[in-house]
Structure 1
């Protein structure tokens, strides 16, 4: 199976690296980028081929469109005529609908829209797939297999992708924001920054692992930490006083609205 990665930025190169680690034949993978030197650097690093977008598309059974949304139109103009009807096209560009892609590609091409997130860099990503009109079960399974090399994969109707973008696509930014605040609080309380960072990161990792492994609702786990009159419940009271929970909900709603605005433009 020939695979073309069109776009050698963070997500494109991350997926490429994962495919090679997962055992895909490097000689069957071609990477391209609008900056040819970047494509050659990534190709040399992973032992794959570098090529022009049209050339890569012509030989590929699976094409991963990993360019910025504003570059998608130009890329499709360049490669559409080279995509054969039995190919699978996976777009990881935020806000680009399957309908838009299908309108620019040959009739019958299978299209999947994917929303990964940056923890894919450490093979702990969350990717959500939405199938286009012509995507059958076999191609959908191929897309899931490919994205599973960088983490967990779920499939939803495309109408949910704005919410997915706001929750998991942008989600790492919210977590990093909270981690920054916790580290700064530790430093303010007199901890060395390296210690505050270690304590915060391990606490985050442990709490996430508890949610996954126990299967208990976060409310139950939170109450287990919050002894009456204790430090945790006092801190939570201050967070509630500052409407932190409501701020997170409204921020994620705003991110979903912005995703919809971006989608409407593509």
Structure 2
């Protein structure tokens, strides 16, 4: 394993019958970096995140976290190791407060059950973790607001706070800006810039302007295969990427005609 890596895949494959959702993928993710993952629909991006958090088991290949192989572990052990995951669709509890949403998530960190009907002071460690997570995403003022009553953009922030409440070292984020307007997206971009100073972030996102702005390293997948991993400039200038995902410009298309 790469000594500088916090998370690494080695020849990772996920097949369903003859369908190769991911094929022979070897990637290295570093602490305090944001690693973007892009590709057309069906490229294998969400499948990759689902394997990195333990939801899916690989058909073959390995996943290492801090030097230890983890792909055979139960999903809850991934959480305990500090691997946190968000989803494409908002995954919150709409009928309870923002603080209670984060407290439910924080309970995964400490084990046992959290009683929503008890005073938050009855489990001080959980409450502190929940409050800290809300503060990290700028939602302190919404702590006692029912989650269904906050804006869509704030709900996406809340989902990130729920991941942070589990005390992660790695954030796996699946399209956190999906469905957002420009102003809401800018808030998430600013938040991710702050968070990548403290965490390893693996970001799947269709907003190319955002992912170019945020990524320290960028991986492009196509049809379950790995095209390239490199800096944003390296990826932008790679002809395979232009053909498979970003598209050729008008001059290239005319020359090919």
| Higher RCO (C-alpha 8 Å, min separation 6) | 2
Bigger strand share:
2
Larger radius of gyration: 1
TM-score class normalised by the smaller sequence: 0.3 to 0.5
User: TM-score, structure 1 length as denominator?
Assistant: 0.33
TM-score by length of 2: 0.34
